[in-house]
Amino acid sequence: MSKLSREQLCSCIRSVLDISKSTTSGFLDLVTIQIALRKHDPHKFTRYAGAPESFIRVCILGDEKHCDEAALLKVPFVNLKQLQLLQDNKTLVRRLAHRYDAFLASKEILEVLPVLVGPAFDKAGKCPTLLTHEESMEEKINELKETIKIRLDKLSCFTMIVGHAEMGVDELADNIIEEMDLLTAILKRSWNNVHDLTIKSSSGIEFELH
């Protein structure tokens, strides 16, 4: 059972949305919650299947055919030439690895990826999944989204996307309550393992929820 006060939660969400509407960044603000855990054993291997699927970001590391297909589906993609430009630039490689939640890669790209970018994707826990030309890209992306999980073995603080600034207050509140119920259900001490919980938009400030 959630320990979040719905009244307080909705009040904070309204504040987040009001700030988002007052900014003119030109981009759709994502709404996220930041979670800090306490008394959580970092050596215990735990995986949490969180984040609504529609907000999981997948990128294609593709050959020419896969990049063309990704463009038609309006899915972010990086081609071989772009990856070659990242070679030996560890900062840009890390930024790419952390920008998305998961990656699909053509066979041609997978074969040269370690040479081009080193172990950055492995270190981020986002080793690309093979995408063949016999598979439906759209189905593969949906399948991948269903299996995305957050590793908690080395994390005591992390961020989860729960929606965007054009969603309603009640819809965002429902998402947050659902995600926290799922998370606390796998934590050994449930809500006692949650030290801090805040909410913010991409361009806004944090509001404390717990």
**pLDDT at residue 1, rounded to an integer:** 47
Two structure tokens written together for 75: 């899915």
CB 60 within 8 A of CB 67: yes
Q: Taking the model in full, what pTM does it have?
A: 0.53
Q: Count CB neighbours of 54 within 10 A.
A: 9
User: Which residues are 61's β-sheet partners?
Assistant: 78, 105
Two structure tokens written together for 56: 């999981």
What residues contact 15, with CB distance under 8 A and at least 6 apart?
Answer: 207
**pLDDT at residue 24, rounded to an integer:** 63
**pLDDT at residue 86, rounded to an integer:** 86
Concatenate the DSSP letters of all residues of 52-90 into one string: -GGG--EEEEE-HHHHHHHHHHT--EEEHHHHHHHTT-H
Query: What is the dotted CATH code of the domain comprising 57-147?
Result: 3.40.50.790
* CA atoms in the 13 A half-sphere facing the CB of 172: 28
Instruction: Tell me which H or E stretch contains 78.
Output: strand 77-79
Domain ranges for the chain? 25-51+150-208, 57-147
Residues 25-51+150-208, CATH architecture: 2-Layer Sandwich (3.30)
**pLDDT at residue 42, rounded to an integer:** 54
The residue with tokens 């970092």 is 42
pLDDT tens, position by position, for the chain (210 residues)?
Answer: 467 888 899 999 999 999 888 876 666 788 888 888 877 665 554 544 555 555 577 899 999 999 999 999 989 999 999 999 888 788 888 888 888 888 999 999 999 998 888 888 888 778 899 999 999 999 998 887 766 555 554 457 777 778 888 889 999 998 888 888 877 777 777 888 788 889 988 878 888 888
